[in-house]
Structure formats: structure tokens, C-alpha cells
Structure 1
Amino acid sequence: MRILIISNMYPSMNSPQFGIFVKEQVDQLKKLTTSIKLSVNTKQGGSKIEKILKYVLLYLKSLRLIFTEDIDIVHIHYAFPTGLLVFPIKWFTRKKVVITVHGSDAHIKSSVGHWILKRIFNNTDRIVTVSYYLKDSIVSDYEVNVKKVNTVNCGVNRELFYPRDNKELRQKYDIQMNKKVILFVGNLLVKKGIYTFVELMKIFPDKHDTMFIIVGNGPEREKIHKLTEGLASRVRIIGSVPKRDVSDWFNIADVFVLPSYNEGFGLVALESISCETPVIATRVGGIPEIIQDGVNGYLVNVNNANAISEKIDYLFTNNDILQRMIKASHKTVEENSIDLQVKKLFEIYKSVINNI
């Protein structure tokens, strides 16, 4: 099977977390087929002109490969704007097209954007969503035939995310064993709930000897630094780190907080419980498909630092509940491993090629 994978997000040395989930999926696919070609953008951010230029270059490279290479199936990540490539592919070739929808790419508010997305979906052979929440949304919002939509999440890489020696890692990063570590991992964006996490720092009870760790980078970083100046002894802002180091921080943490305003899936929650670190997350998007409230973590409403604080305080004072949640998370992790998810994706490729 000859596959072309197109993505507007792909990691590089300068941006190791930029679209890392796409690369991990590609790496797993290479275990099933040796014939994979890539057309990807590795440059993160930039001015409006730079963003337009990088998309033009991505489109040109993709079209060159589509028209010159012998390819069975084209897999496009992100329905918009990368999904616009479906039009020339279908107008001028007979190649099959699969599009993976990750979240925000399916929620365009303008009527013109909605009209374009509907036609992208109508011209695509198969749509893959990373959560059932997104599947339901696409089927209802864009009047897509439900039989045309499959759900395959990004999957957790259990070779990276697994329980490790907490004591050894805390020594490595100079964190005392008696500290209770509360972790945030993600881009420092308003929509990721970073200000809810800052509010949590300020209201969390002093009875716990607590350290707050922020792993990630983004446009809100300078503001976060200023807001946490008075909490310097309790806060450590790490910045963006390689994927392997993210696993270190999950294993160091006593609890992981995911306070996002929306998430197509919420892979970081899955990575956390794969390291046996309980999760307190917002009840949005695809997160409830991974975190079941009171079973393997807790769910709270958006922008509610008080609720998060109460749940963490309860876990810190009830170790039996904590251990029960860790045990309950094992099945979720097994069902959502990356190798299992990629095998499902590969079967979708075969069904599309064979018109099943």
C-alpha cells in the first residue's frame, strides 16, 4: 500500500511538540507498510505572510507528489485549510482521500467556511475523527453520512508513557519527595485553561506542601510569569520539552490538571493515566471518552478552579481512592494504545481502497 500523508503540523528540532501526534502515527504506520511519503509543514507560527507562504509551499509539494508519484491513498490531517487539497485531487485524479479531523478544524463559525467544509467532507472518501464527540458533531453539523465517518484517536505511545521510578526522576529534576506536585502540560493559550490553572495556584489549601509545574510554551507565557511572581517558591515553568521529558513530568506529578475550554480528544489525559497519574479535567469535547468521572479521574466544569481544588484536596487526603483510580485506568490505556489505533486506521485504508 502506497500512502501519502499530508499535514500542516509536524515536529522539528525547533518545535519538537508541533504535531508530534502525527509523527507518532506515521512511525507506527511504517511498521505496517514501507511505502509512505510525507508532505508536511514543520514551521510553527509566523506572520500572516509567512503563514500564507508555508501553506502555498505545502500545497505545491503535495500536488507535485500527487501528480507524479504512484500513490494508492492520500491521508490529509486537518480538514481546513489542508483539506482544500481534496478538490484538485478529486478533480484531476482517481486517488482515494482520507481526512483526519482533530478538533478546531471542524468548528469554523463563518457561513462561507461552513459551506467550504461541507464540500470538503462531501468530496472525501472517508473521514476519521479523533473522538466520537467530533464524529457526532460532523455528522449533524455538516449532514455527512454516518457510514462515511470512522473514529480513531491518536493513541498513547506506551513505549514512552508508562510508570517509572518517581524517586529517581525527582532527584533528576531536584524536586523533594515530600512535595505534592500538581502538573499542567500544554500550549500556554487561553483556550487551554492556563489562567484557570493560575487561579488554582492561588486558592489551593496551604495544608499541602505543594509545587505547581507548568510544561509548555505559548503566547501567554510572559503574562503567566508576571502573575506567578509572588508564588515563585511554589511554581516552576519549564517551557516546551521533548516528548520523552513530558513522560518524566507525568511520572513526577501527583495529579495532572487539564482545564481546557475544548479538546477534540485530549491525548495528554490518556498519556497521564498511562503513567498512573490521576487526572482532573474539564467536561468538554472528547475528554469524557477517556476520563470517566469518579472512576479513573474527575471531571469539572470549565473555568472552575474551586472545583479542581476540591477534587485534588480530596485525592490528596484519600489515598485509597487514588489507588482505585489508578487501577481503573489500566483498561482505558490498553484500549487506546497507539499500535491498536493505527491498526484500525490501516484497516480503514484497505476498506477505502477496496471500496468497502
Structure 2
Amino acid sequence: MRVVLVAPGFPTSLDDHHKPFLADHARALAAAGADVTVVCPAHPDAPRRHDVGGVKVHRVRFAPSRVEARVALGESYRVFSGPSALWVIPMIARLTLATARQARSRSGGGPAVIHGHWWFPCGLVAVAAAAAGRGAASVVQIHGSDAAVTTNAVHRWLARRVLRRTGAVVTVSEDLRGWAASLVPRPGDLHPPPSAERTGRRAGPLLQVVSMPVRTERLGSPTLLPTDGPVVAVGRLMAEKGFDVLIEAVALMPTAERPEVVIVGDGPDRTLLEALALRRSVTVQFVGAVAPSEVGQWYQRARLVCVPSRREGFGMVVAEALAAGRPVVATAVGGAPNLIADGDNGRLVPPGDADALADALGTALQSNLDVAASASTAALAPFGPQAHAATLLRIYEEIAAAAG
């Protein structure tokens, strides 16, 4: 199976902390036997063509380096909502041409499947490139931020046109599946597995939840909970991650009960968060960004992990923390409600509610939450790279057959 992945960014190496789940995704497909190539915008610190963990990456120039750098660092939606918005046009055009070229030029194996991450811009690119790709099929993956920015009638009109023209829509959580279903009201459903009855033209795309793969091998074996360990939070320092709510929640706790807080990650809101912590007299250690291979070390130091996000797609930090054997206090967004059994391996709270988060942290720190069952091999198997690749390859095969 020939697969062209198109994404708004891709790690420059296996040590790059920016969207490592995309590298995990590409490598899982390659390990399962797919012939994988990635097409993405240029990165100022990476060559135009190179190899990341055995996956071929083609980076496409489309704008001045300062614009490309911001897009490469995950600020696409901020860039394209400001004065630099016009650069989205050459980006989409050049990504589409490069993707179509890759879909046509790959040798052997029949037509390619083009998998676009985030409906805009790369889902749009995947659909357009598939139309020019000599029988190529397309998949559009919804991650969460792309749903969040679809805020008006024009956005929804464009999203609807993209999703209805793809062979399959995959989402990283059930919540996002519902969002996608609202735009494609007659989708095919890949539950149960596809049958011969569905090889012809269908009324809508296949629609299925496919979480991003959790690579447990880099998290280390679960160890005993440190009784004096910190509360650890991991993620990009942006408003959607809710780290300001975590700081406010700790400020609401009695001084003697306040835990040490460690935030692992970097981003545009770091200065604001540091100022908030100082103003609220909360001691927070800002570690900065670390390589994916080092994140497990911070989970192992944690007494518990907090994920205070206002919104999430899947919730990779929740899955990783449980895999590392750490209880999690998280907001009930994205995939967290499917991973956390409230009161057993963690606690769930409403997003943006500092009072509820303070209560949950206090209760969790004083209780004996058990994550053994959540961290077992059997419990984590559905989220592993092999299961991830097997599900996607099954989808690819069906839509490729329909496209052919």
C-alpha cells in the first residue's frame, strides 16, 4: 500500500518535540508494510528532502522563512488569521502540487492513498491532490483544533465540501466523530468491518475513530508512585491547554496542601503563565520543551499528572501518563472520559473550572488511585502502533478499492 501523508508540520527528527505523534503515526504505517512518504511545509531547520525514522519527508517552500517558521511550530491558525493570511493560498497550491506529484510518481503498488491531517488546510490538499492523482483515494483526519476554528457558516460550508469529497474521515475521539457526522449526515460507518456490500459508490465517506498511537516503550516501566513527587503537566503553552486554570486551581488550595507543580513544554504563552504564577504566589517549575524520549522521565517523577485542557482531540498526555503508571486529573474533553475511570485511575472535571480542579487535585493527592489496570498491556493494546496501523490499512484498502 502506497501512502502519502500530508500535514501542516512534521518533526525534523525523532528528538523533535513538535507533533511527535505524527512521526509515530508514519512509522507505525511503515512498520506495517506501507510505503510512506510525508509532504509538509518547509521548516527553517530542516532540508527540503530528508529521512525521519525511516520515513521519507518532502518539505515544500511557500512563503518567507519567518512565516514558514511559525507554521512549522504549530501556529498555522494564528498565522492565517492575521496579516499573513494570504500566504495560505500559495501554501495550499504548492502542497497540492507536491502531493499529487508524489501520488503519481511512487513506483508500483497501484494507486496511492493520500491521508490529510486536519481538514484545513491539509484535508483540502488531500482531496484536491487525490482528484489529480490518477485514481488516488483520500482520507481526512480531524484532530480537534481544526474543528475548533470552524466557527462560522463559511468555514462549515468549506469543511462540509472537503469531508463529503473524501473516501474516509477519521477522528481521534468520539466527540470529534460526532462533529464530523454533523457535516456528513449520511456517512458510511466502519462498524462492523467492511463487507462486500459496500464496495460500490456510497452516500458518504467512511467515518471512524482512530486514535493516534501511544508508544509505551519510550515511557519506561511503571514505577512506584513517589509520595513527595510533583504534579506534572505536559503540553504546548497555549490557552487551549488550560495551564492558567491549573495555576488558579493551585492558588485556591490551602497553602499547606499546595503541591509542587512542574510544566513540561514551551509555547507563546510562557511569559503570561510565569506572570500569573508570580501574581498568584504559586510556585511552578517551567521545564521547557523536551525530546519525546525524555518525557517519560517526567512522568516517572510525578505523583500525578494534570491535564487541564479547555479542549483536546485525543488527549495523548492522558494516555501516556496512564501508560507510565501515573494517575491523571483531567478535564472531561476529547478522549479523556474514555481513558479515565473517575475515582479509580484519575479524576475528571469540567474544562475551565478552577474550583472543581482544585477539589479534584486535593482529593487525588490524598487518595490511593490505582492505575495498574489502565497501564496493563491488554488495556493499552488498542492504542498501540500496531493496532493503529492495522485499522488505517483496513480503511485504506476499502477506499482504494472503491476509488479504483
Is TM > 0.5 for Structure 1 vs Structure 2?
yes
Q: Give 2:52's aligned residue.
A: none
Q: Secondary structure at the match of 1:237?
A: strand
Q: Does the 8 A contact of 1:281 with 1:300 survive in 2? A: yes
Change beyond 3 A, Cα 1:215–1:197: same
Read off the aligned partner of 1:68 and give its amino acid letter: S
The alignment status of 1:347 with 2:388, answered yes or no, reads no
Which residue of the partner structure matches residue 169 of structure 2? 127
Normalising by the residue count of structure 1, what TM-score does the alignment of the two structures yield? 0.87
Match runs of 1:300-339 below 5 Å: 300-319=349-368, 322=369, 324-330=370-376, 331-339=378-386
Matched, 1:30 2:23: no
Task: Give the secondary structure class of the aligned counterpart of 1:228.
Answer: helix
Q: Is residue 90 from structure 1 mapped to residue 136 from structure 2 by the alignment?
A: no
Partner residue, 1:163: 221
Q: 1:202 aligns with which of 236, 245, 251?
A: 251
Pair 11,343 (structure 1): closer, same or farther in 2 beyond 3 Å: same
Residue 173 (structure 1) aligns with? none
Give, in angstroms, the shift of residue 292 of structure 1.
2.7
The answer on 1:66 being equivalent to 2:113 is no
- Which position in structure 2 is the counterpart of 1:171? none
TM-score, normalisation: structure 2: 0.77
> For 2:272, what is the secondary structure of its paired residue?
helix
Q: What fraction of aligned residue pairs are identical, expressed as a percent? A: 24
How many matched pairs? 344
Q: For the structure 1 residues 178 and 89, does the alpha-carbon distance in structure 2 shift closer, same or farther, using more than 3 Å as the test?
A: closer
Render the CA deviation track for 1:201-242: whole Å, top value 9, x for unaligned: 322333347310011111110111222236889321011111
Letter in 2 for 1:98: V
Equivalent residue letter for 1:161 = L
Match of 1:100 among 105, 119, 141: 141
- Alignment match, 1:12: 12
Q: CA deviation at 1:139?
A: 0.9
2:235 — aligned with what? 186
**What RMSD, in angstroms, separates the aligned Cα atoms of the two structures?**
2.7
Q: Deviations over 1:129-169 (max 9, x none)?
A: 111221122112442414210211002101112435579xx
Q: Which amino acid aligns with 1:84?
A: L
> 1:306–1:65: structure 2 CA closer, same or farther, 3 Å change rule?
same
- For structure 2, the residue ranges without an aligned partner over 5 or more in a row are 44-71, 190-205
Q: Which runs of 5+ in 1 are unaligned?
A: 168-176
